[in-house]
């Protein structure tokens, strides 16, 4: 899981990066429920941080004007934002799809990723419900999606959507090859639930501000501690569910007579969606060979197990190697 920290200015962006944030997400908390930062603020952040670090842009709740939104998305591309998030509240589904498709066209030629966003508490505002997120992102040709909240009264994401529903949505998003992100007044106490859901990105603000107050400034020490706690769960030092690592040296599976052999997929450096895509591609071209997949992130092993079970593939062994990665042997 990557840590995304919402920032309002260059000073906060630098604090977030020094604390270990993977993504700084520039937004304006004073504009309506959530809005866009001034383009010069985005430019200052993008110019000041290394190109290899992620700087995303949030447009917040966008109007039902596809051309206007596409123009804002185009500006994000010009500013070399890593991604731009387009959020919908009181928008009909078809209108949201049209807007995203206009945004997709506006980003042609840019590296900026298009992220569709719905809010878990949209029903409070007679808005488009978040369970449309995956269909909307696919129809709108998004690179990924984010589920957030608008309510800032102490309730958070899990007050509006249960862990099980979010887990299913994240798995579906990964199987579709999209990045998945969850945000919405998340705190340290929510980390076990988040780790079980295992989105690609976790977005926070209040939890990494001074005294936990989202209107205060982002502080590097708070960012560092949140990042450390994420790492503890990703590496399995803090377990968030029953262990699924099975005993064995991983070499006790042998190809059967009708097997095509033994294939290794190295998931190092890949997202979970990338690992699942590689597995699907391998089985599509060769449904006989045993597959040993190397999974560097403990949390992603659960996603691969669910993927295998849903497709009736057999997980024969799991083991930790000397690097701490999990090696899983799968028989299609």
Q: How far is CA 205 from the centre of its chain?
A: 16
85 labelled catalytic: yes
Rounded to a whole number, what is the largest CA-CA distance in the chain? 66
Distance CA 7, CA 25 (A): 6
Please say if 152 is a catalytic residue. no
* Rounded Cα gap, residues 58 and 98, in angstroms: 19
Active-site hit among 27, 43, 174, 270: 27
What's the alpha-carbon Rg for the chain, to the nearest Å? 20
Choose, from 85, 113, 174, 270, the residue flagged as catalytic.
Answer: 85
Which two tokens mark 115? Answer: 């992220």
Q: What strands lie across the sheet with 314-320, from one edge to the other?
A: 262-266, 290-295, 326-331, 314-320
Pseudo-torsion of CA 42, 170, 19, 35, nearest 10°?
Answer: 30
Backbone angles phi, psi at 323, to 5 degrees: -85, -10
Location of structure tokens 């597995």: 279
Rounded to 5 degrees, what are φ and ψ at 175? -65, -25
Cα–Cα nearest to 101, from 137, 52, 152, 55: 137
Say how far apart CA 33 and CA 255 lie, in whole Å: 57
Q: Which residues are catalytic?
A: 27, 85
């Amino acid at each position: 899981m990557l840590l995304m920290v919402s920032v309002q200015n260059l000073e906060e962006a630098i604090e977030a990066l020094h604390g270990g944030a993977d993504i700084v997400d520039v937004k304006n908390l004073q504009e309506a429920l959530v809005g866009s930062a001034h383009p010069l603020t985005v430019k200052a952040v993008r110019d000041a941080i290394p190109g290899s670090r992620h700087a995303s842009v949030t447009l917040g709740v966008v109007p039902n004007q596809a051309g206007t939104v596409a123009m804002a998305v185009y500006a994000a591309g010009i500013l070399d934002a890593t991604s731009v998030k387009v959020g919908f509240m009181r928008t009909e589904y078809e209108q949201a799809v049209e807007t995203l498709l206009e945004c997709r066209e506006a980003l042609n030629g840019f590296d900026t990723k298009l992220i569709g966003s719905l809010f878990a508490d949209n029903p409070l505002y007679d808005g488009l419900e978040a369970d449309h997120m995956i269909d909307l992102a696919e129809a709108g040709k998004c690179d990924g999606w984010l589920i957030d909240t608008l309510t800032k009264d102490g309730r958070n994401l899990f007050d509006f959507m249960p862990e099980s529903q979010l887990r299913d949505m994240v798995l579906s998003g990964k199987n579709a090859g999209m990045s998945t992100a969850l945000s919405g007044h998340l705190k340290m106490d929510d980390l076990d639930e988040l780790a079980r859901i295992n989105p690609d990105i976790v977005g926070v603000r209040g939890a990494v501000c001074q005294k936990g107050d989202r209107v205060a400034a982002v502080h590097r020490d708070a960012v560092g501690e949140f990042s450390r706690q994420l790492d503890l769960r990703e590496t399995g030092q803090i377990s968030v569910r029953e262990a699924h690592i099975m005993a064995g040296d991983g070499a006790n599976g042998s190809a059967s007579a009708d097997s095509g052999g033994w294939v290794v997929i190295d998931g190092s450096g890949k997202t979970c969606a990338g690992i699942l895509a590689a597995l699907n591609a391998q089985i599509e071209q060769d449904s006989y060979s045993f597959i040993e997949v190397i999974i560097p992130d403990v949390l992603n092993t659960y996603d691969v197990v669910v993927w295998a079970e849903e497709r009736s593939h057999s997980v024969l062994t799991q083991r930790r190697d000397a690097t701490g990665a999990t090696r899983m042997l799968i028989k299609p």
